[in-house]
Structure 1
Amino acid sequence: MKNTLLLVSLLTLSFTANAQDVATTTVNPSIDNLAYNKWSIELNGGVNKPIRTISPGYSTASLNLFHADLGARYMFNPKFGLKLDFGYDKFKERNDTPSFESTQLRTSIQGVINAGRALNFEDWTNTFGLLFHGGFGVSQLTSDDFHGQDYAGNGIIGVTGQIKLSDRAVLTGDLTGIITTRQNYNFDGMSLTNTGTLDGLLLNASVGLTFYLGKNAKHADWVGETDKYEGLEKRVQLIEDGLLDTDKDGVADLYDLEPNSIAGVAVNTKGQSIDTNQNGVPDELESYLEKTYGQNGNATTNNNSIEELINGGYVNVYFDFNSSKPTNASLPGVAFLVKYLQSNPSKNADIIGYADEIGSSNYNTELSRKRAEAVKQIATNAGIDASRLNVIANGEDASVNKNSKEARQIVRRVTFQVK
């Protein structure tokens, strides 16, 4: 059985490897198949500087406060996306120049190119990124010095540097240029423009934060070429791990439905202990106990020594941490009790559960009861009348060092007292 399954596994792996060798010449793993977040919210603030369409004698500071920008971005893939943004700019005179105050509101739709991914920044950094953006929109200029609003079209182009703070937030620095068309008034609002088709030119410099939305670990901004192999590596690792035979039963874990079966006990093709009568005791152990302690054996001679063995605490059923399911390796303990009670119908048994000291006393008492009940159920399934079995929850066993993992394993048990 072991040789057959191993041969099948090796043939499967060989076929898979050959198929991958062929496939790699024509098909590469695709980033588009990875799961990553695509939405983000951008918030920026900074300064502006009108370059032209300023009335003679009027001027703003070289770094004029205030500029603000709010955007929502969607990435179709790690290299390209779109964003909708809203901008606010306030213009005021610089020191020692005629006073004015005007405001521009704008909105634009822009394409976004993730230059960091296009240039494979991930080869040398997972902290810094670079975005280029550009598009078209409309703007509205208002001022106390003319009535109504001045509407214009605009083209916008810019570059954004990124510093990754976490998988959910990024610090950004942005430099953007905006050129307007059909702008009637200068940015100061004091006079009409006379520059022709392309009117105003405005620079924005800002810093801000980008917040990523979505349930996945990474955003498209930070998904690189190396990430596309992640899923393939996981599948290969799964196959490699699956070919291990943890319980040494001759069936690889990949096919084993019972990966912790009792060593030396016969199993079927799925790695399950053979238990024809479904009593929780593998047939091989049951046969051995039947021959040794059953009705056809020297039961009278052996009864006293068997009872002493059971009552002396040498027959136990063990449990994993916080579990009420007996470990498969300790099922022979239940089998000893079952065979003894089958051979001695006048005898009854206390089934006594214990827990280690990890957790509250009340919880551990209940856990010890569940462990004893689980063992009782196995015994009743094997044909022992439930009235002959008495469950006792002894709770925590404080007889060992609670800081020792190995010692705690010993006290997570069920013992028996026959009478």
Structure 2
Amino acid sequence: MKKKLLLVSFLIVSFATSAQDMTTASAKPSIDKPDYNRWSIELNGGVNKPMRTMTASYATATLNPFHADLGVRYMIDPKFGFKLDFGYDKFQERDNTAPFESTYLRTSLQGVINMGRALNFENWTDTFGLLVHGGVGVSQLTSKNGFDGEDYMGNGILGLTGQIKLSNRAVLTGDLTGIVNGKQNWNFDGMSVARTGPFDGVILNASVGLTFYLGKNEKHADWVGETDKYGELERRVELVEKGLLDTDKDGVADLYDLEPNSITGVAVNTKGQSIDNNQNGVPDELESYLEKTYGQNGKGVTDSTVEELINEGYVNVYFDFNSSKPTNASLSGVDFLVKYLKNNPSKKADIIGYADEIGSTSYNQTLSQKRAEAVKNIVINAGIDASRLNVSGNGEDASVNKNSKEARQIVRRVTFKVVD
């Protein structure tokens, strides 16, 4: 039975997109959603070299400026993706050749293979990467002092991009790309008709640039490798382990517990919720005990009894060492106060924070105030108006043996006083 429960728990934690704690309204983490970014913007600039379809006596420099490229890339996973990019090339004569000036524009849809991840670069570096990209697109050639109009053609493109990671948000790149045009009518210089054939003009681009990663996660898919998968598996196992804990000791694992802060020892249903058949805000089992101890001739637990319990210090919220976040198991104390204030709208409450004696007096004074403020915020978020709440930090509680770890836990608390 335990093995079946563990399997079901793992499947739920692994595939649930979200889960919500209905009592505390705190969202449980989703593990299906990728924890890496997928989108990036690429900007490059450099030189070009038209390799074919030049008119006799017309030529460009070996490294001819200017080339520019702007792309948007989306990675399906760390190894494969797509990008849409726009390229601009300008062609001019080199020294001692006939003058000309033409412009080449293109757009291409390309597939991307992250060779860095495919070859497991992460085993030896987290700084250098390598992408291969290729696809098809359309192009336009215009000439300033050659043919009139525009020459439209299709293109195929293939390139190699080296990466140097500057940060989790920016990468320095160096790219070498080849482009081949189909059905190109005019030479790149624009002065004569190109050779006829299915494939004509060829251009080489060499550029350097920057890639900027978009998204709220720490890493981009470009840099997520096999070791990250192991880390993700460990995180999932940790979530399963935490989900099977029973923080409030009510017999229902936190993963299935809709009220993970129920009062210890109070009967709960199969969903971990305290049984309160008369819906008066006090669990039936606790109400039975209070009736026996403080009963009013069979009239049930009265508001005055609840107020007495609050004011006498039986309702508290506890904290871990040096923390201003209430422990989950003690949030039932907040719930107890909230329900009382909702049932008695004319009442107000003092929220009083304390700290143990470890640390300086001034620090503990501040810490006790933070604890009281934290509880106040929870009460406000539960629907109680802030004007009904007064907060104070009472600093150190020296009533227990400061050398006792267990005793110090008792005084790291927030208590309440109900006032008119």
Q: Letter of the 2:5 partner, please give it.
A: T
- For residues 349 and 8 of structure 2, the distance between their equivalents in structure 1, rounded to whole angstroms, comes to 53
* Correspondence for 2:390: 395
Q: Deviations over 1:231-253 (max 9, x none)?
A: 65554333311332323344433
Q: Letter of the 2:242 partner, please give it.
A: D
Query: What displacement does 1:66 show?
Result: 0.6
CA contact (8 A) 1:316 1:330 kept: no
Per the alignment, do residues 158 and 225 of structure 1 end up closer, same or farther by CA in structure 2, a change over 3 Å counting?
A: same
Question: What root-mean-square deviation, in Å, do the aligned CA atoms of Structure 1 and Structure 2 show?
Answer: 5.2
Is 1:12 aligned to 2:16, yes or no? no
* Correspondence for 1:134: 134
* Correspondence for 1:413: 416
Per the alignment, do residues 355 and 176 of structure 1 end up closer, same or farther by CA in structure 2, a change over 3 Å counting?
A: same
**Scaled by the length of structure 2, what TM-score is found?**
0.61
Q: Letter of the 1:206 partner, please give it.
A: S
Per the alignment, do residues 394 and 266 of structure 1 end up closer, same or farther by CA in structure 2, a change over 3 Å counting?
A: closer
Per the alignment, do residues 353 and 9 of structure 1 end up closer, same or farther by CA in structure 2, a change over 3 Å counting?
A: farther
* Correspondence for 1:146: 146
Per the alignment, do residues 59 and 400 of structure 1 end up closer, same or farther by CA in structure 2, a change over 3 Å counting?
A: same
What runs of 5+ residues in structure 1 fail to find an aligned partner?
A: 1-7, 18-31, 297-306, 335-348, 376-391
Q: Letter of the 2:391 partner, please give it.
A: E
- For residues 222 and 160 of structure 1, the distance between their equivalents in structure 2, rounded to whole angstroms, comes to 14
Of 314, 318, 322, 2:316 maps to 318
Alignment of 1:32-43 (within 5 A): 40-43=40-43
* Correspondence for 1:47: 47
Q: Letter of the 1:354 partner, please give it.
A: I
* Correspondence for 2:92: 92
Query: What displacement does 1:89 show?
Result: 1.3
Q: Deviations over 1:124-168 (max 9, x none)?
A: 444433222233444443334423244555433211123345555
- For residues 166 and 395 of structure 2, the distance between their equivalents in structure 1, rounded to whole angstroms, comes to 48
Q: Letter of the 2:350 partner, please give it.
A: G
CA contact (8 A) 2:146 2:189 kept: no
* Correspondence for 2:114: 114
* Correspondence for 2:351: 354
Per the alignment, do residues 416 and 73 of structure 1 end up closer, same or farther by CA in structure 2, a change over 3 Å counting?
A: closer
Percent identity, aligned pairs only, is: 61
* Correspondence for 1:328: 332
Query: What displacement does 1:267 show?
Result: 4.7
Per the alignment, do residues 406 and 38 of structure 1 end up closer, same or farther by CA in structure 2, a change over 3 Å counting?
A: same
Alignment of 1:165-184 (within 5 A): 165=166, 169-183=170-184
Secondary structure at 2:51 match in 1: strand
Q: Letter of the 2:249 partner, please give it.
A: K
Query: What displacement does 1:46 show?
Result: 1.0
Q: Letter of the 2:417 partner, please give it.
A: V
* Correspondence for 1:248: 249
CA contact (8 A) 2:79 2:114 kept: yes
Alignment of 1:206-245 (within 5 A): 206-212=207-213, 220-225=221-226, 233-245=234-246
- For residues 120 and 83 of structure 1, the distance between their equivalents in structure 2, rounded to whole angstroms, comes to 22
